[in-house]
Amino acid sequence: MHNIKIIEKKILQAIEETENIETLETIRISTLGKKGFISEKLKKIGTLPLTERQAHGTILNHLKSQINKLLHKKHQEIKKKTIHQRIQEESIDITLPVRNNPIDDGRIHPISQVIHEITSIFLKKGFTLAEGPEIETDYYNFIALNFPKEHPARDMHDTFFFHPNEKGETKLLRTHTSPVQIRTMENQKPPIRIIIPGKTYRIDSDKTHSPMFHQMEGLVIDKTSTIAHMIGLLEEFCQSFFETPSIKMRFRPSFFPFTEPSMELDIQYHHSKKETKWMEILGCGMIHPQVLRNCGLNPEEYQGFAWGMGIDRITMLKYDIQDLRDFFETDIRWLKHYGFPLFS
């Protein structure tokens, strides 16, 4: 009995000196838990002589009640003290100006916005998204697309070549996203309806050109698609993208090694209040039969069309951005002006 009094004094003193909730919980478990001091003592009462059981039980239950009350009281004191301390530490200085939420300050880059806009239009028309590597082989970037060695059209692509590897193979930064068309036709049986957004690279830099730029290409391969289908699809796209039911367009004959016939699409825009101009926004055409053969498709059975547009240029046109180089200057003032709020 004397030992219990000593232990009682130590327990009550430990509770009184505790300064945090975690230590208080440790004391509770060590005294009142299933394997705590008092619980173990109560289990052993049955082993005592009958004359001592009641006295021990009364003392232990009284101690249990005391500890419970003191634990609750101490818990409330610590909680109140913690709240008061937090109020002091986390108080708001109402003399400071309100800071903008980072979400309010953040902006979506115009290029990212336009990629999303274009992708959404074509996904609703049943197209799927396709991607491929930015470091390509000469075969996928040129040869499979009907650019044989020494072909003069290669001069149209000022290419970033890597040094040859130990096997003598030379890789390059892709000059267009068209290699993804080849990879898709090699691995997927028609019908094929894909769009291909991505970064491309050419040695060129001025007000309307950048060494790294963005393209969006599309490919349709089946047994019945015609040039009329292509023209109708691109007209619908322009109306949706520029958000107008009426837009002046013209298709001009052109040349691309991988399409035949080939065309360029121009749209008319207002350069000033009195002046209108034409801007070429994409190239398109029917897939060249040799390209189909290179991918293991029979041109007597399959046909289709493709198109490719510069995302940077079409972004400049839609959102009246004058200099392509500004896209890559990382000027936060420019981004706040031309960028898009996250939830707009």
Cis peptide before 245 (omega within 30 of 0): no
Q: Has residue 100 been placed in a domain?
A: no
Rounded to a whole number, what is the distance in angstroms from the first to the last CA of the chain? 75
Q: Has residue 39 been placed in a domain?
A: yes
Q: Look up residue 155 and give its DSSP letter.
A: G
User: Do 316 and 187 fall into the same domain?
Assistant: yes
Nearest to 321 by CA among 250, 264, 284, 269: 269
| pLDDT tier for residue 272 given thresholds of 50, 70 and 90 | low
The pLDDT tens digits of the residues spanning 113-139 come to 999 999 999 999 999 999 999 999 989
At which of 57, 90, 123 does a domain end?
Answer: 90
Q: Has residue 159 been placed in a domain?
A: yes
User: Do 131 and 175 fall into the same domain?
Assistant: yes
Q: Has residue 21 been placed in a domain?
A: yes
User: Do 275 and 192 fall into the same domain?
Assistant: yes
Q: Has residue 97 been placed in a domain?
A: no
Q: Has residue 77 been placed in a domain?
A: yes
User: Do 222 and 138 fall into the same domain?
Assistant: yes
**Which CATH number is 200's domain given?**
3.30.930.10
User: Do 290 and 217 fall into the same domain?
Assistant: yes
Measured CA to CA in angstroms, residue 256 lies from 130, 205, 332 at distances of: 22, 22, 39
Q: Has residue 267 been placed in a domain?
A: yes
Residue found under tokens 């059981």: 53
User: Do 179 and 215 fall into the same domain?
Assistant: yes
Measured CA to CA in angstroms, residue 275 lies from 250, 267, 269, 270, 317 at distances of: 18, 14, 9, 6, 15
Split into its structural domains, the chain has a count of 2
Q: Which residue has the higher pLDDT, 144 or 103?
A: 144
Cβ–Cβ < 8 Å for 227, 188 = no
251 token code pair: 């298709």
Distance CA 249, CA 239 (A): 10
Cis peptide before 261 (omega within 30 of 0): yes
Beta bridge partners of 308: 217, 283
Distance CA 30, CA 38 (A): 9
- The pLDDT assigned to 154 comes to 67
User: Do 58 and 197 fall into the same domain?
Assistant: no
Distance CA 126, CA 122 (A): 7
The rounded mean pLDDT for the chain is 86
Q: What angle do CA 340, 176, 289 make, to 5 degrees?
A: 130
At which of 42, 59, 90 does a domain end?
Answer: 90
User: Do 82 and 173 fall into the same domain?
Assistant: no
What does the CA dihedral 109, 205, 174, 179 come to, rounded to 10 degrees?
Answer: 70
At which of 90, 120, 144 does a domain end?
Answer: 90
Distance CA 165, CA 147 (A): 22
- The pLDDT assigned to 283 comes to 94
User: Do 56 and 143 fall into the same domain?
Assistant: no
The pLDDT tens digits of the residues spanning 188-222 come to 999 999 999 999 998 877 766 788 999 999 999 99
User: Do 66 and 123 fall into the same domain?
Assistant: no
The pLDDT tens digits of the residues spanning 2-18 come to 567 777 777 777 888 78
Q: Has residue 96 been placed in a domain?
A: no
User: Do 79 and 142 fall into the same domain?
Assistant: no
Neighbours of 68 (CB within 10 A): 13
Range of the domain at 82: 2-90
Distance CA 126, CA 312 (A): 24
- The pLDDT assigned to 218 comes to 96
User: Do 62 and 142 fall into the same domain?
Assistant: no
Check pLDDT > 70 for residue 101: yes
Cβ–Cβ < 8 Å for 214, 150 = no
- The pLDDT assigned to 153 comes to 63
The pLDDT tens digits of the residues spanning 134-177 come to 999 989 999 999 988 877 666 666 888 898 888 888 899 999 99
Neighbours of 171 (CB within 10 A): 17
